[in-house]
Amino acid sequence: MKKSTKKISLLLLALCTLCLTACTASPAPTDETYDDFILVGFSQVGAESDWRNANTKSMQAALSEENGYRLIIDDAQQKQERQITAIRNFIHQGVDYIILAPTTEKGWDTVLLEAKAAGIPVIIVDRMIESEDDTLFTSWIGSDFRKEANTAVRWMEQHFGSKPLRIVHLQGNIGSSAQIGRTEGLDAGLQNNPSWQLVYRDTGDFTQAKGQELVEALLADGLEFDLIFAENDNMAYGAIDALKNAGLTPGRDVTIISFDANRAALEMVITGEIAYDVECNPLHGPRVQKIIEKLEKGEATPKLTFVEESAFDADTITREMMDSRGY
């Protein structure tokens, strides 16, 4: 982009930043030195979970001014329409790169074609998009959600064998890769283990409040179950609160399986409240930074990068593992 255009765009950006209350951008640029920064627009899903907040912080720390970046973050409050608007604003502002953490998989073609037409590389993080056209993004970095669920199911098979198991399933946002992969993994487990029974399934939108609400409601209905398969830690926290409020002991009366492995959840693995937590690593900031550095040098970047992840139960977790965690 021509420098003069970029300056006007930055002025517009300054005004927008002042107007947008939902936006978590840092103070608006005021001097000419910003021409030296790499301008990045990050369309973030929201702030629904601890995972998400750790992800945002990681991006802010890596794409910082000290590292030569100017980062605009738009919080979409879990709404795809807001993300589409944010991307259009980034294009209008003439950013150098767009980072997209997509809410759901479908429905991105039109706006990403617009970014492509404007010549702005798009880096996708965390969840994936579904599109026939893989030229709509430059690189993706994230987790193998199906594999995470397979890991959880394997643990359940090892611990319950062919015993009867009544399962409550708290799903994430329907249509997001994290929900799709984790649900597919559990469904395969249900098929392969005829003694397992799905007694309840609904979405808790990856939030603690919704997780608690759902479990409270099914306890009030008198539903009996042995295990809660929560598709993230925050829903597991909500479920644990609901169980405790009803006089039940998580870990003894009900087995909890969760995903993310945030630090607070790993404390619960140590105390036995969460039986098994499969890691989902949110620290994508430095990974994205590396991709941008390569693109700046004109080097090729991998199309897809899956992050290495592990899983924890009371037998395998150690204090050192917890202390070395960045989230």
Residue ranges binding ligand GYE (CB under 6 A): 48-49, 51-52, 126-127, 143, 178, 206, 232, 259-260, 280
What is the nearest approach in angstroms of ligand GYE to the Cβ of residue 2? 37
What is the nearest approach in angstroms of ligand GYE to the Cβ of residue 33? 35
Judged by beta carbon, residue 39 or residue 180, the one nearer ligand GYE is: 180
What is the nearest approach in angstroms of ligand GYE to the Cβ of residue 109? 21
Judged by beta carbon, residue 97 or residue 259, the one nearer ligand GYE is: 259
What is the nearest approach in angstroms of ligand GYE to the Cβ of residue 163? 28
What is the nearest approach in angstroms of ligand GYE to the Cβ of residue 178? 4
Judged by beta carbon, residue 203 or residue 289, the one nearer ligand GYE is: 203
DSSP string, 236-252: HHHHHHHHHHTT--BTT
Burial 295-304 (b: 16+ CB within 10 A, else e): beeeeebeee
DSSP-based three-state secondary structure for 76:
coil
Judged by beta carbon, residue 70 or residue 82, the one nearer ligand GYE is: 82
The token pair at 245 is 């409020």
CA triple 61-142-283, angle to 5 deg:
25
Within 13 Å of residue 280, how many CA atoms lie on the same side as its CB?
31
What is the nearest approach in angstroms of ligand GYE to the Cβ of residue 259? 5
What is the nearest approach in angstroms of ligand GYE to the Cβ of residue 76? 12
Judged by beta carbon, residue 70 or residue 127, the one nearer ligand GYE is: 127
- Which of 51, 119, 105, 43 minimizes the C-alpha distance to 260? 51
H-run or E-run covering 70: strand 69-75
Judged by beta carbon, residue 265 or residue 291, the one nearer ligand GYE is: 265
- Which of 276, 285, 252, 270 minimizes the C-alpha distance to 99? 285
Q: In this structure, are residues 100 and 87 in contact, taking their beta carbons and an 8 Å threshold? A: yes
Query: What amino acid is encoded at 11 in this protein?
Result: L
d(CA 65, CA 56): 15
Strands 122-125 and 97-100: parallel
Judged by beta carbon, residue 127 or residue 210, the one nearer ligand GYE is: 127
